[in-house]
Amino acid sequence: MSAMTKLVLTLLGDDQPGLVSRVSRVVADQGGSWLESQLARLAGTFAGIALVEVPPEKVGSLRTALAGLGDVLEVTVKEAAAPAPIEGRRLVLHLVGHDQPGIVRSVTEALAARGVSIEQLATAIVEAPMAGGLLFEADAVLTAPADLATDDLQADLESLAHALMVDLDLTPAP
């Protein structure tokens, strides 16, 4: 059996039942497999990213078939890059505090300044359980350079958390 071609699909459209079914049917009809995905409904919009694989000779017909979904879904197709080995230490970041503009910018700038990569980031606005109002919550999986002292990164983030008036935890990934 020949090697399969891995493709990254990005999906965007007005949310409605059956969108994932339609995309997965196209992939399966082209002899492909659905490998990984992260899909969400955000403000009435369906957004997602999926990793699929298809036989090399089916890449063109997959692109054409996915383009046929344009009436309900914008789909882009990109050949997957070869996975790079993860170098460094994996860390988990959890942040919660009153919602305010610039939290993501401030935290990501501090991470970038130390050469820390964001592998996954999930954010949400949630109701504060007792006090009322809105809280901003973020969870991230990070990769820190091997030569970066975790204490230095922790100090940077604690200083930032104090300035933003948020609670922030940085722990080793399991």
Whether residue 52 is found in the same domain as residue 29: yes
The answer to whether residues 104 and 49 belong to one domain is no
Residue 84 covered by a domain: no
Q: Judge whether residue 1 has pLDDT over 70.
A: no
Same domain for 165 and 97: yes
Beta carbons of 92 and 143 less than 8 angstroms apart = no
Distances (CA, A) of 50 to 37, 64, 109: 4, 17, 27
Q: Are 134 and 126 in contact (CB under 8 A)?
A: yes
Are residues 74 and 115 part of one domain? no
Residue 144 forms part of a structural domain: yes
pLDDT score, position 107? 96
| CATH code of the domain containing 46 | 3.30.70.260
Shared domain for 124 and 53, answered yes or no, is no
Structure confidence at residue 5 as a pLDDT band (50, 70, 90) = very high
Which domain covers residue 166, as residue numbers? 89-172
Measured distance CA(35)–CA(132) in Å, rounded: 41
Q: Are residues 166 and 97 in the same domain?
A: yes
pLDDT of residue 2: 65
Confidence (pTM): 0.83
pLDDT in tens, 133-150: 889 999 999 999 999 999
Q: Are residues 75 and 97 in the same domain?
A: no
pLDDT of 50 reads 97
pLDDT of residue 42: 93
Q: Each residue of 22-67: pLDDT tens digit?
A: 999 999 999 999 999 999 999 999 999 999 999 999 999 999 999 9
Q: What are the pLDDT digits (tens) for 71-112? A: 999 999 999 988 777 789 999 999 999 888 999 999 999 999
Chain length of the chain: 174
Same domain, 148 and 106: yes
What pLDDT, on a 0 to 100 scale, did the predictor assign at position 31?
97
